[in-house]
Structure 1
Amino acid sequence: MKTYVLNTVLLFTVLFGSATVNAQNAPLTNTHNYVVLTKKIPQLTPIILTAEALKVEDGRDFGSFKVIICGKDIGEITTNKDMGDYIKRAEAAGVELIACGFSLQKFKIDTAKVPKAMKIVENGILYNFQLQKHGYKSISL
């Protein structure tokens, strides 16, 4: 009889204890946050179109949409004639454009020439992983 009672208590502890742990790990909101890591400036057009579509699809659940630009073509953010248009469209869509500081340094790009509307992070790849730890959905192009 003691074994039966002990097994029953143990069973309830496991069942309800794990339910409590799962409830604690569940997201508090249904907000959808996104991050895209890209190496090519022309990819900003389809990325921004995607953000616009997700904003409509997600409605109130649309959270943050960040685009991190890294790699050897990072200098194009200071020279591409369409960069101003990309920035305007991104802002209108609620997209934050971010430059990888490591790439800027490696390819000797003057940070003073980076558009003021863009945030610079120390390491774009690390920043991407940190955002993923906070639940961001991520893709690299």
Structure 2
Amino acid sequence: MKTILYSSILLILTFFTGTHAQAQHHTKHNYVVLTKKVPQLQPILITAEKLKEEDGANFGNFEVIICGKEIGDVTDPSKIREFISKAEKLGVQLVACGFSLNKFKVDKKAVPKKMKVVENGILYNFQLQKKGYKSLSL
């Protein structure tokens, strides 16, 4: 009787341990980067590309939030067009901080349509971190 009981416990533990390990293995890796300068998108997007290669099927979402006094650069096609194109190819979401747009009097209508605008970029960053996103601020 003891043998059956111990065998049953061992079988159950093996099943749950194996299931837990599989669940961890298939977890998506999500990333968020907060930056103040559009030119920093170059190394950020290179990083996203490398992480996408490394993570393979486990690569999840990658978002880049642009905040600060240079937010107006997102409305200059010569400064942002190439980055939007590369981000789109990589599946990276570019995000403009609405608080910065308002503070520095940048017309939200001038923000490229392919960019997401959030009310407060810093708050949005924290909200993504609470969802498990790995975060970096530059």
Q: Classify the TM-score, shorter chain.
A: 0.7 to 0.9
Q: Which residue of 2 aligns with 1:62?
A: 59
Once residues 27 and 97 of structure 1 are traced to their aligned partners in structure 2, the CA distance between those partners, rounded to angstroms, is 28
Aligned partner of 1:106 in structure 2 is 103
Provide the residue aligned with 2:91 in structure 1.
94
Output the CA distance in 2 between the equivalents of 1:27 and 1:133: 18
TM-superposed CA distance for 1:79, in Å, is: 1.8
Aligned residue for 1:123? 120
CA RMSD across the alignment: 1.6
- CA deviation after TM superposition for structure 1 residue 29, in Å: 4.3
Structure 1 unaligned segments of length 5 or more: list them.
1-22
Q: Secondary structure at the match of 1:81?
A: helix
In structure 1, what is the Cα distance between the partners aligned to 2:79 and 2:120? 25
Cα contact 2:33–2:63 (8 A) shared by 1:
yes
**TM-score normalized with structure 2 length:** 0.81
Mapping of 1:1-141 within 5 angstroms? 29-79=26-76, 81-141=78-138
The percent of aligned pairs where both chains have the same amino acid is 64
Unmatched runs of 5 consecutive residues or more in structure 2? 1-19
> 1: distance between equivalents of 2:79 and 2:111?
14
Report the Cα distance in structure 2 between the residues aligned to 1:118 and 1:37, rounded to whole angstroms: 14
- Structure whose CA Rg is larger: 1
Instruction: Flag as ranges the 4+ runs of structure 1 deviating above 4 A.
Output: 26-29
Q: Output the CA distance in 2 between the equivalents of 1:27 and 1:74.
A: 38
1:78-123 C-alpha deviation (Å, 9 max, x unpaired): 1251311110000001100000000000000000100000000000
Change (3 A) 1:53 1:108: same
Distance 1:38 1:52 in 2: 17
Task: Count residues with an aligned counterpart.
Answer: 117
Q: Secondary structure at the match of 2:78?
A: coil
The C-alpha deviation readout for 1:9-54, integer Å capped at 9, x for no partner, is xxxxxxxxxxxxxx8xx86942100000000000000000000000
